[in-house]
Structure 1
Amino acid sequence: MRKLYYGRISTTDGQSAASQYEDAKAHGVSEKDVFIDEGVSGYHVAPGDREQWRKVEHDLRHGGVLIVRWLDRISRRYDELHRTMRRLIELGVRVECTLNGMTFDGRATDPIEKATRDAVLAFMAAQGEADYKNRAEMQRRGVAIAKAKGKYAGRQRTVDYAIIKAWRTENGASIKQTAERFGIGTATVKRASAE
Structure 2
Amino acid sequence: MSRTILYARVSTAEQTLAHQRKQAEAAGFEIDEVVADEGVSGLTTALRERPQGRRLFDMLRRGDVLVVRWVDRLGRNYADVTETIRDLMRLGVIVRTVINGLTFDGATKDPMQQAVRDALIGFMAASAQAQAEATKEAQKAGIEHAKGRDDAYLGRKPSFTREQFDAVRDGLAQGQGVTVVASATGLSRQTVYRIRDKPAEAEAALARWA
How does the TM-score come out when normalised to structure 2?
0.65
Provide the alpha-carbon RMSD of the alignment.
Answer: 2.0
Deviation of the 1:141 alpha carbon: 2.8
Letter in 2 for 1:81: V
Report the counterpart of residue 165 of structure 1 in structure 2: none
Report the counterpart of residue 10 of structure 2 in structure 1: 9
CA distance in 2, matches of 1:140, 1:53: 27
Report the counterpart of residue 103 of structure 2 in structure 1: 103
CA distance in 2, matches of 1:136, 1:42: 12
CA distance in 1, matches of 2:50, 2:20: 17
Which aligned segments of 4 or more residues in structure 1 are displaced greater than 6 angstroms?
none
Is 1:88 matched up with 2:57? no
Contact 1:93–1:107 (CA under 8 A) maintained in structure 2: no
Report the counterpart of residue 69 of structure 1 in structure 2: 69
Counterpart secondary structure, 1:100 = helix
| Number of corresponding residues | 149
Letter in 2 for 1:137: E
CA distance in 2, matches of 1:52, 1:148: 37
Q: 1:24 to 1:147 in 2, by over 3 A?
A: closer
Q: Structure 1: which 5+ runs fail to align?
A: 153-195
Deviation of the 1:145 alpha carbon: 4.1
Deviation of the 1:46 alpha carbon: 1.3
CA distance in 2, matches of 1:81, 1:18: 24
Contact 1:46–1:80 (CA under 8 A) maintained in structure 2: yes
Counterpart secondary structure, 1:76 = coil
Task: Give me the identity figure in percent.
Answer: 42
Letter in 2 for 1:60: L
Report the counterpart of residue 29 of structure 1 in structure 2: 31
CA distance in 2, matches of 1:109, 1:36: 32
Deviation of the 1:112 alpha carbon: 0.9
Q: Where do residues 130-169 of structure 1 align in structure 2 (5 Å cutoff)?
A: 130-147=130-147, 151=153
Q: 1:90 to 1:41 in 2, by over 3 A?
A: same
Give CA deviations for 1:59-97 in whole Å, capped at 9, x if unaligned. 224342111110100101111111111111112211110
CA distance in 1, matches of 2:131, 2:125: 10
Deviation of the 1:148 alpha carbon: 8.2
Q: Structure 2: which 5+ runs fail to align?
A: 155-210
Deviation of the 1:109 alpha carbon: 1.1
Deviation of the 1:105 alpha carbon: 0.7
Computing the radius of gyration from Cα coordinates, the structure with the larger value is 1
How does the TM-score come out when normalised to structure 1?
0.69
Q: Where do residues 33-48 of structure 1 align in structure 2 (5 Å cutoff)?
A: 33-48=33-48
Contact 1:3–1:65 (CA under 8 A) maintained in structure 2: yes
